[in-house]
Amino acid sequence: MSSEFYLCPRCGGEVRVGSRSCPKCDPPKPWEQDEAYDGLDLPRDGGDTFDYDEFVADEFGGGRRPRGRALLWAITAIIVLLALALRRFFF
């Protein structure tokens, strides 16, 4: 595909730059090229396949327990918070 064409967001066909509609869509649907979304690799199915639970698991680790060094830091944080709380009551 050359720089004189771009992909139709509806059918994926090649559309000449500057044309008002895609010649392959039936009926032709007028639209404008939006350069803000070029190169984002968005799904063509309308995005109905988004799984929120899978997204949360991928982004935040799926609720795993801390292990090794992370467990040590978690225990240290709890001890420091307890020491600060006790210091406030006894001093």
Show me where the domains of the chain are located: 1-50
pLDDT (0 to 100) of residue 75: 93
Mean pLDDT value across residues 71-83: 93
Output the furthest CA–CA distance in the chain (Å, rounded). 80
- pLDDT at position 32 is 58
Lowest mean pLDDT among 22-26, 38-42, 43-47, 69-73: 43-47
Confidence of residue 29 (pLDDT cuts 50, 70, 90): low
| pTM confidence score | 0.29
Could you tell me where the DSSP H helices lie in the chain? 52-60, 69-90
Q: 29-33, 39-43, 60-64: which range is least confident on average?
A: 29-33
